[in-house]
Structure 1
Amino acid sequence: MEKIAKHRIIGLDREMMSFTDWLADPRAQTSIFSISGIGGIGKTTLLLQMARTARQSSVRSLWLDGQGGLTTSGAFLASLEMSLATEYGGTRAPESALLPYIVNELQLQRTVLFIDNGEEIEKLEGWLFSRFLPELKSARVLIVCASRNGLPLKWQTNPEWKSQIQRFPLRLFTREEVYDYLDGSGLSAEWQRAIAEKTEGHPLSLALIVDMLLSESAEQRDVWREVPAVLSAEFLREAASPGVYRALTVLSLLPAADENMLNRLLDTPLEGADYYHMRALSFVRDTVDGITLHQVVARMLRDDFARRNPAQFEAVRHQAFVLLAERFHSVDQRMQMRLSAHILELYREFLPSAHAYANFSSSLKPGEQKPFRQEDMPYLQRFLQASIRGSDWQSELVDSADYPVLLEEIAAHFPEGIFIVRDEKGTPLAFCAGVWLHALSMPLLERYAPGCRGMLGEEASALHRLPPEAADTIFVLLSAVNSEQSLYRPEELGALLMQQWLVHMTGGLRGILAAGDPQLNSLLSILGFKAYGKATGYAGIELMTWELDFRQTSFDEWIQRIIRQTETAAGQPAYQREDEYPLAIDRSVMKQMLEWLFDPDKLEELPVVRRLGWDGMQVRDIIQGILADGRPMEPLTLLEKEILITSYLRKDRNKSQLAASFHMSRATFYRHMRLAEKHLAFVLSDLMRSGF
């Protein structure tokens, strides 16, 4: 299902330039363009734009659609004859054979032959190479074939034609192109920002969302749920069996999987033939680690799975967390970092969507990870200066007057301590800079951040003797994002910087940083950092120092924290031992607590309450105290508190009325309420473990 946007065509400059170059070249020979990409990426849109350009250049264009059945030479030639007749009034004499007639027509004038939905063109390969294409050697014909996987390998290796083939795999929109697409849509700046942050630059997804928001029924529609449902149906059109459909939804929860791993999460084992069928799908890629889904398709399938069957989705996602945790120590460092990134992607729902330092709801993906280059320095210094002016994104360990020279020192002597998040073009968007702790770097650390001496304690002496090649700890001193551009919110970039830095650490490293901001401290705790000690900032303020240590087996602790937060009514996870985290509360238990909040006797029946030896009144008072507190308690937001209060404490309206009062659809309201129950369960579990 391809759809042409109502807005001007964007993001296809390279392809259109090659096309117009062929049209303008008086010596152009017969050539082949192969357009490829997943459903909705813009293949048909591109072909239509090329067809309009051809007409404006007075070049004949003929259109064939593979969905009409171009699987035989007869059908192919008949479709060409019909196109010539309907578009240009061409008629074939009764005594003239079809192939010579078509070849003669194509040799008469420059022609562009468009083949849309050309997935089955391989069935014509033998005839095309032996009979049809040789006749066009001396003609001036451009064949533009659009298909999900591109032209088969035989085309790309054919000795006579491979030099005449150009391949154009279509890509997703960049953030800049998304805003370009939305320009003139009539949508408010707030809606445009929400669309840019929640989509992944998929053209059809953007077109559907804009159409829905501009429709008369927009207020009653939850586009963030409807669009994944529509597109999932489109992507899964290629899945020929229910078994493949189920396996694809499971695969959406894994970074990569072979048949055995998929079967561990499937109720019914996958048939061997189905697995091979999956490998051939346009949005599935074969890798050394197994098959993997295109990132947009995976996101859409997860969203649709969560909408259709939230309980089952949560249970399978929980199983995926456990499975990935088991795999972590048996794979190499490259795969460990990939697993970490995927776990954070699945974990995103449990991270704060609105925070002073980070917004994890965005689907923003980083550009290619490249080490620091000297040409990056002007960007980084500009970010720091903006940070100083705004009193934001600063390190209280270092005097702000020393930021520029400290960054220059790190770049000159320890450039490996600079970590940069870049956009699609490689331009820096955010960075953090620190030093790897060893004998050569400790003097610099102590010169600019003297407060670290007391915090490192006895370890400082050992670090002064440690050779650089043995360093495994980075001390972060500076951090800033590009807050002056309009494409990304600072909180988006902050979240991306933290996520990418965290993934980097999971490769077997330790990270240390210090903060005096309570909000940042709460966020670091959610991300799995552990309080390391106290430090004194440059202005004499007391800072909390945080450590994230993945040098040994700490990944297990980190993943267990995630697993505890994602427990569901499906039962206790196999990964959890009875003596570990005995007070963890899952969402189903939290829901029971809320429903029985005013019945202390029933509350006392719950196993978790009995283990604590508390009475029902104590539990009720604690829960009411959490909800009555006018501050967010990460990951529980103020909005989620209000939803729980109106749903379980006031109980003066039905669900439809409640949804309307929060300006949400019923489906959206239920989703927010489930999240609120999960987040309250996490807050209450932490309070119980700390002996509240």
Structure 2
Amino acid sequence: MGDSGTVGDRLRRARRRRFVGRGGEIELFRGALSDGAFAVLFMHGPGGVGKSALLGEMAEAARQAGVTPVLVDARTVTPEASAFLRAVEAPGAGRYAVLVDTYEMLAPLDDWVREQFVPGLPADTVVVLAGRDAPSARWIADAGWHELLRVVSVRNLSPSETRDYLSIEGVPESLHERMLELAHGHPLTLALLVDMVQRQEEVPGALRAAPDIVRALLARLVDQVPGPGHAEALQICAHARFTTEELLRGMLGDDAGTLFHWLRTLSFVEEREFGLFPHDVVRDILDADLRWRDPDGYAGLHRRLRGHFVERARRSADDERVRHQTVADIMFLSRDHPIVKGYWRLTGLGQLSATGLRPGDAETVLAMTRELQGEEQAACAAQWIERQPAAFGVFRDGTGEPFGAAAYVELSEDGIGDDPGARAMWEHVLRHGPPRPGESVMAWRFFVDTEPGARPTRSETMIRLWHGQEIITGARKAWDLVAVPSEREYWDPLLSFFDFHHAPEAAFRIGGHRYDVYAHDWRVLGVDEWLALTAERELGAPVTAASAPELVLSQPEFADAVRGALRDLHRADRLAGNPLLRSRLVRGADDPAGELRRLIEEAAATLRDDPREESLHRVADRTFLRPAPTQERAAEMLGLPFSTYRRHRNRAVERIAGWLWERELYGGNGHQVDG
């Protein structure tokens, strides 16, 4: 057969052929063997990240240097000094290196290892301790160890190292990108996926589609969770972009401090400026596991997190930095949706910003517009910069360098000027529902992206963030319109997901470039309803193309419809054709006609509750709610001259119509609910 030595030798060679990356860690170890620069290399990282394989490669490096490796798996050692000493006993004379795997199992011996075992070894001995947990504070605090200790966090493989591994395993190149996306360079995940390929099974599109892999990974990554609260905190940490004590308090209550401290002790949880977060593959595994075994629990967690972030964004409306981060938190919750994930870039998001125009920015915006979209479009932008400079935002990288821009302008009959694009959008609004008093019409008239070939681009991500902030925290709007360079195959899926319908008659052409327009009427589907709709879509509800807008009644048309509804209140066949049944007033009700009757009765009841209007209520009651056979008979029953009766009737109708109009404009409590 040609193989010499033992089966163990063959196994070691097979492992070495499949070992990739970790060059820095191995060179660090070799350096210690050659120059004695330090005595202890402390490596820590989550389960499945490749610590054991790395120790095996270090053992081979020791052999090549003429040093005998003593490999110890702490899972097989009782955490007692005598048992450990037996396990690390050198096999003979000569120099040796001690390599301890799963060192976290020896936590009771940690002080003894640091204070007695290592100091008692020969001066040229190198010790490698590998485990899930970082070294305790006492290792770091001891001044003597500053020179003799090196600490390395073992991370996932890089994309290039991952591709090397997949090539060694014979995985077709056509599968490399999908496996990169699933595994994030996590060695154990890669090994399990490779095993699927070698068994000729289909590689899943998401980890949740492979519960066997998820179970195997969970067993390696997550130790026994102390209790239900800890389990829920872990799920929050996996689903949210960053986890803070404030978030845990809002979600779980008074145990937040204890649970936050526990999360910080986990080997796969990292800390950054904005809070805690798990390694990518751990996040995916925990999320996939909950979604697979408890779909209702997963959906409930998603909705509660989303609601928490929406409320925080609204509370922070005046703090741009907090608002920006919170809307990013909301966007992050949809990171795995098959449509949405293709339209935004997470990497480096914290380094990007959208700012108003600074000195010199107007020229920069116009230059970018001119270069990418032509002179005529730049001339339109110049008009808007003069009229509404605050509508423009510049997208910047971490150095402040611009890479894109957008403008969210307010449209009105007097403010359009000579802009044919704004005119086309405004005419769409006039045709399908002009703004009513106090309502605004907002339009993303300009969007300039200097990186259109690298989708999803940073500018696309930033305009989504900005638009999300405007929707959640902005003032009451009638319409939102979005103008984008014509590319419907690209834009339709995203904008349909967010319930913006394509408005073909609003499309326009400027400077040889065609622009498509998408629109949303907030009076048809308000912000809170929109948030609920998009939350369900994030959880897998079907995405249907947004329907074209319904006609929105003007105030005189609305008042006429109220008079008709009062007249036909007890004639179901006639009431069915009343325009109010297609208004915001009753939209979404299971029984629109029944809901309209209830609202009319509620409006009439407000007259009864006001002593000054009580006589109007009695007239409305006998004319519409419990009508007499004729109005003359109603006047007689009320003891009123007919001329007085008619005057009271007209005033009652006016009051009822006014109350319903307030509901139509502002929602349930007669005040704004969408801003």
In the alignment, the residues of structure 1 paired with residue 22 and residue 463 of structure 2 have an alpha-carbon distance, to the nearest angstrom, of: 33
Letter in 1 for 2:241: P
- Aligned mate of 2:179, from 165, 174, 195: 195
In the alignment, the residues of structure 1 paired with residue 452 and residue 113 of structure 2 have an alpha-carbon distance, to the nearest angstrom, of: 55
Q: CA deviation at 1:205?
A: 0.8
Match of 1:398 in 2: 373
**Is the contact between residue 251 and residue 292 of structure 1 (CA under 8 Å) also seen in structure 2?**
yes
- 3-state DSSP of counterpart to 1:40: coil
- 3-state DSSP of counterpart to 1:339: helix
Q: CA deviation at 1:519?
A: 2.6
Aligned positions of 1:27-42 closer than 5 A: 27-42=35-50
Match of 1:327 in 2: 312
Aligned positions of 1:241-252 closer than 5 A: 241-252=227-238
In the alignment, the residues of structure 2 paired with residue 227 and residue 497 of structure 1 have an alpha-carbon distance, to the nearest angstrom, of: 36
Match of 1:160 in 2: 144
Match of 2:5 in 1: none
Letter in 2 for 1:251: C
Match of 2:3 in 1: none
**Is the contact between residue 395 and residue 515 of structure 1 (CA under 8 Å) also seen in structure 2?**
no
Letter in 2 for 1:134: P
Aligned positions of 1:4-83 closer than 5 A: 8-23=18-33, 25=34, 27-69=35-77, 71-81=79-89
Match of 2:342 in 1: 359
Q: CA deviation at 1:299?
A: 1.7
Match of 1:339 in 2: 326
Q: CA deviation at 1:296?
A: 2.5
**Is the contact between residue 333 and residue 507 of structure 1 (CA under 8 Å) also seen in structure 2?**
no
Aligned positions of 1:565-644 closer than 5 A: 565=537, 610-611=590-591
Letter in 1 for 2:238: S
Aligned positions of 1:86-97 closer than 5 A: 88=91, 90=92
**Is the contact between residue 42 and residue 204 of structure 1 (CA under 8 Å) also seen in structure 2?**
yes
Match of 1:522 in 2: 492
Deviation sequence 1:174-195 (CA, Å, 0-9, x none): 3333222211433333322322
The alpha-carbon distance between structure 1 residues 433 and 496, as it changes in their structure 2 partners (threshold 3 A), is closer
Q: Under a length normalisation based on structure 2, what TM-score does the superposition of the two structures give?
A: 0.57
- Residue 544 (str. 1) matches residue 554 (str. 2): no
- 3-state DSSP of counterpart to 1:186: coil
**Is the contact between residue 529 and residue 548 of structure 1 (CA under 8 Å) also seen in structure 2?**
yes
- Aligned mate of 1:312, from 279, 290, 297: 297
For these two proteins, the number of residue pairs brought into alignment is 469
Letter in 2 for 1:319: R
- 3-state DSSP of counterpart to 1:252: helix
Larger relative contact order, structure 1 or 2 (CA cutoff 8 Å, min sep 6) = 1
Match of 1:214 in 2: 198
Deviation sequence 1:13-40 (CA, Å, 0-9, x none): 22122223333x3x32442212111111
Q: CA deviation at 1:455?
A: 7.1
Q: CA deviation at 1:209?
A: 0.8
**Is the contact between residue 33 and residue 165 of structure 1 (CA under 8 Å) also seen in structure 2?**
yes
Q: CA deviation at 1:210?
A: 0.8
Letter in 2 for 1:124: L
In the alignment, the residues of structure 1 paired with residue 537 and residue 65 of structure 2 have an alpha-carbon distance, to the nearest angstrom, of: 61
In the alignment, the residues of structure 2 paired with residue 313 and residue 437 of structure 1 have an alpha-carbon distance, to the nearest angstrom, of: 36
- 3-state DSSP of counterpart to 1:565: helix
Of residues 170-179 and 43-52 in structure 1, the stretch that sits farther from structure 2 once superposed is 170-179
Q: CA deviation at 1:12?
A: 1.3
- Residue 502 (str. 1) matches residue 510 (str. 2): no
Gaps of 5+ in 1: 91-104, 373-393, 407-414, 439-445, 458-471, 484-492, 570-606, 615-692
Match of 1:171 in 2: 155
Letter in 1 for 2:138: K
Letter in 2 for 1:366: T
- 3-state DSSP of counterpart to 1:58: coil
Q: CA deviation at 1:222?
A: 8.5
Deviation sequence 1:154-197 (CA, Å, 0-9, x none): 11221111122222112223333322221143333332232223
In the alignment, the residues of structure 1 paired with residue 408 and residue 251 of structure 2 have an alpha-carbon distance, to the nearest angstrom, of: 42
**Is the contact between residue 12 and residue 46 of structure 1 (CA under 8 Å) also seen in structure 2?**
yes
In the alignment, the residues of structure 2 paired with residue 216 and residue 567 of structure 1 have an alpha-carbon distance, to the nearest angstrom, of: 30
In the alignment, the residues of structure 2 paired with residue 168 and residue 352 of structure 1 have an alpha-carbon distance, to the nearest angstrom, of: 38
**Is the contact between residue 256 and residue 290 of structure 1 (CA under 8 Å) also seen in structure 2?**
yes
In the alignment, the residues of structure 1 paired with residue 73 and residue 81 of structure 2 have an alpha-carbon distance, to the nearest angstrom, of: 14
- 3-state DSSP of counterpart to 1:141: coil
Match of 2:104 in 1: 119
**Is the contact between residue 310 and residue 330 of structure 2 (CA under 8 Å) also seen in structure 1?**
no
Letter in 1 for 2:103: G
Q: CA deviation at 1:506?
A: 4.8
Q: Under a length normalisation based on structure 1, what TM-score does the superposition of the two structures give?
A: 0.56
In the alignment, the residues of structure 1 paired with residue 32 and residue 450 of structure 2 have an alpha-carbon distance, to the nearest angstrom, of: 48
Match of 1:563 in 2: 535
Gaps of 5+ in 2: 1-11, 354-368, 382-391, 410-415, 427-442, 475-480, 542-586, 595-675
The alpha-carbon distance between structure 1 residues 529 and 15, as it changes in their structure 2 partners (threshold 3 A), is farther
Letter in 2 for 1:517: E
- 3-state DSSP of counterpart to 2:222: helix
